[in-house]
Amino acid sequence: MTNPRAVRIPRTFSPGTARAVRPAVVRAAPPTSGPADVRTNRAGTQRAVRISLVYLGAVAALYLGTLLYDTSRPDLLTPGVTSDLTVFGVVALLLGVVGALLSLGPAPRSVELRPGSIVVVDRWGRRREWSPRGSVHVRVVRRYPAGLLASEPVESVELALAGRRSHYLVTAGLLGEPRER
């Protein structure tokens, strides 16, 4: 008997036939040389923190108002009502934490303007590079004046590059031309 080993039969493809190709491994390019203009996002962070505090205060006020209203009930100490208040408290806490995280998320820590790219350092430390810098489309979606929520004007900007979009809450002019020091 012969050996039951598989034999590979080479096939030729006509020039117009599509075939599977092994994807090429793309390595991240080393950081471009040259000084980076690192700009911290003070007013955007200040606005995001204050909005999250207002939100947490509203959730706490709603929870305390409901709790005070419930204490006037004569059947408050029954096991069903007490467990309902506990579940309601857990839901209020969960809504408060998730809402605060969502309001802090769009405000990056800083922006690094490099000669060939823009690097955005997110609130949680993740770095997102937008390159080439000349192809990045920066659009101001909304401007917020200075006031109770921020000591300086704040802009909601959209960065777009080849189908990839992100929205950020930054100090006005943070993504503009390099500033004088």
pLDDT digit string (tens) for 126-135?
A: 999 888 888 8
pLDDT of residue 27: 45
Place of tokens 């506990």: 86
Distance, CA of 44 to CA of 153 (rounded, Å): 9
Residue 34, Ramachandran bin (φ over 0: left; ψ between -120 and 50: alpha; else beta): left
- Name residues whose C-beta falls within 8 Å of residue 131's C-beta, 6 or more positions apart in sequence: 116, 117, 118
User: Are 141 and 158 spatial neighbours (Cβ–Cβ below 8 Å)?
Assistant: yes
Residues of the chain with pLDDT under 70: 1-3, 8, 10-34, 75-83, 177-181
Distance, CA of 45 to CA of 53 (rounded, Å): 12
